[in-house]
Structure 1
Amino acid sequence: MNKFEMLHQQSQPLLIANVWDAESAKRAERAGYQAIGTSSAAVAAVLGYEDGEHMPFEELLFMVKRISASSSLPLSVDIESGYSRDPKEVAANIRLLVDLGVVGVNIEDSRVTQTRALMDKDTFAASLSEIMGHLRASDTQVFVNVRCDAFLLGLDDATAEATKRAESYQSAGADGLFFPCVTAESDIEAVVTATSLPINVMAMPDLPAFDTLSKLGVRRISMGNFAYVSISNQLEKTMKNISLKGDCSALFVANDL
């Protein structure tokens, strides 16, 4: 078990700082985080793209290279659906990231065409199994965190669908499972119980406190693109204040830490 895997077995959940560029990675390391992960939406937004694999993979590689070079923290990368429909190509993409120092990836079971929709469970599980097979064959050491979007998409039967998929994805070789937008304690308990894999949840306004999540068996907490959105909103507010006040004092207001 490598260092990043071990971080998922602590007494308290691993808190991942989701970053979008070299500077945010440096700040996360200075703030004392144990690991960082990219937010696909935030990285895309920085470069002027919409989320959903609209950003060319080559540009993602460039951003990851700069982030990896700027921090010594373990880095996981959100690769959305893998930037290919071919499992062999997805595995090749993951290997390119590992060559840059990446220790983990997130891959999701939904795809964006006109709208975001879940893939068929068995189709995705078969693809995942093939991806994992290619990675093992090339002795690629990487933590594959599979994102299930049942709660994110607001399915009426989200909990039942998520637990079925948890079992299927574990059998296909996933190292961890990520359920963005799950917040109810009963739902979190259900997905934790459905698998022996470490469970990742995401920041939401009504997400339970970390101590509660720990008691429920959650092993990893991430931020999505919300840190990026918060910083961007503050930047816009500062820019407006400068224009409205007719001076630059807003740039020099002390921020208490």
Structure 2
Amino acid sequence: MNFKNLHKQNTPLIICNVWDAASAKTAEKLNFKAIGTSSAAIANMLGYVDGEQMNFAELVYIVKRILASTSLPLTVDIEAGFSRNPTEIAAHIKTLADLGVVGINIEDSIVTNGRTLLNAADFAKDLSVIKQLLKENEVNIFINVRTDPFLLGRNNALMETKERIKRYESVGIDGIFVPCITNESDISVVVNHTTLPINVMCMPDLPDFNALKKLNVKRISMGNFVFDSLSDRFEDALGSIVESQSFKPVF
């Protein structure tokens, strides 16, 4: 089943978010159907903060290692495209597609002095240009657009999300990602507002997978939360070694 069709099943597609070859291999071992990079996890692994602090070439290197280590379909988080120029963003996407990447996430916010939403109309125009350039270059890749009113805690997050979805849907993208949405009523409104598959993300208050299935959510991702949890356990393990002055806590 191709990647786009994985978003048309009755059961939501669970994306295992990975950050290196080892995590990708584990996802394949556990029979996940698809994997996606977490930009925040990769940035953290490389010593950066999230928000396009690493350069695109560094991301490409990690993507190459992941692709060489697994046969699972891979979608890549390109943040806001590693450029504000749609021609350059399209070139980045083509680079990934040529490597064998089947999908990308691109978000409608950028990090400068804090994270801010891009103008929705301007971002939709950029998406339209990107789509046209990809078509001209015969690049067929799943474009999942992340919209961030809920992530940023906007007072009118639901209304703003609906408005942005309609703008992005009109330029022919393939899916919508709404991180930090957790209320079942809000999720239902968003799902029923568009014909595009809706992607939600791991959050402490996110409904369980069965509830999300009933709401007709089509994709569920993990973000950087699994990576962060493992990092915390690593710190705890090292602390135990120091405290006990032995390696017994490891075993």
Would the TM-score normalized by the shorter structure come out above 0.5? yes
Equivalence for 2:223: 224
Rounded Cα–Cα distance in structure 2 between residues aligned with 1:141 and 1:232:
36
What's 2:44 paired with?
Answer: 45
d(CA) in 2 for partners of 1:137 and 1:189?
A: 36
Q: Please list every run of 5 or more consecutive structure 1 residues that lacks an aligned counterpart in the other structure.
A: 253-257
Equivalent positions of 1:69-218 (< 5 A) are 69-218=68-217
Aligned residues: 251
Deviation at 1:227, TM superposition (A): 0.7
SS at match of 2:4: helix
Alpha-carbon distance in 1 for matches of 2:147, 2:139: 23
**1:167 counterpart SS class:** helix
> Is 1:56 the counterpart of 2:55 in the alignment?
yes
In structure 1, distance between residues paired with 2:110 and 2:199 = 20
C-alpha displacement at 1:194, in angstroms?
1.1
Shift of 1:32: 1.2
Cα drift, residue 80 of structure 1: 0.4
- Match for 1:238: what amino acid? A
Q: Distance in 2 between matches of 1:159 and 1:141?
A: 31
Instruction: Determine helix, strand or coil for the equivalent of 2:234.
Output: helix
Taking the aligned partners of 2:135 and 2:55, their CA distance within structure 1 comes to 26
Secondary structure of residue in 1 paired with 2:3: helix
Shift of 1:102: 0.5
Distance 2:194 2:248 in 1: 53
* Counterparts of 1:133 and 1:140, CA distance in 2: 10
Report the Cα offset of residue 184 of structure 1. Answer: 0.2
Partner in structure 2 of residue 255 of structure 1: none
> Secondary structure of 1:240's match?
helix
The residue identity in structure 2 corresponding to 1:86 is N
- For residues 190-243 of structure 1, the C-alpha deviation after alignment (integer angstroms, 9 at most, x for no partner) is 111111000000000000011111111100000000010011111111111111
Distance 1:250 1:62 in 2: 34
Say whether residues 1:243 and 2:218 are aligned partners: no
**How far is 1:119 from its partner?**
0.7
Percent of paired sites with the same residue: 54
Q: Which amino acid aligns with 1:27?
A: T
Secondary structure at the counterpart of residue 4 of structure 1: coil
Partner SS state of residue 3, structure 1: coil
Whole-angstrom distance in 1 between the partners of 2:226 and 2:78: 19
SS of the aligned residue for 1:55 comes to coil
3-state SS of paired residue (1:37): strand
Runs (4+) of structure 1 exceeding 4 A deviation are: none
1:71 and 1:251 mapped to 2: Cα distance?
28
The alignment's C-alpha RMSD in Å is 0.8
Q: Partners in 2 of 1:163 and 1:191 — Cα distance?
A: 7
- CA deviations over 1:11-65 (Å, ceiling 9, x no partner): 1100000000000000111111000000000001111011100001110000000
Q: Please list, as runs of the form range in 1=range in 2, the aligned pairs for 1:17-36 lying within 5 A after superposition.
A: 17-36=16-35
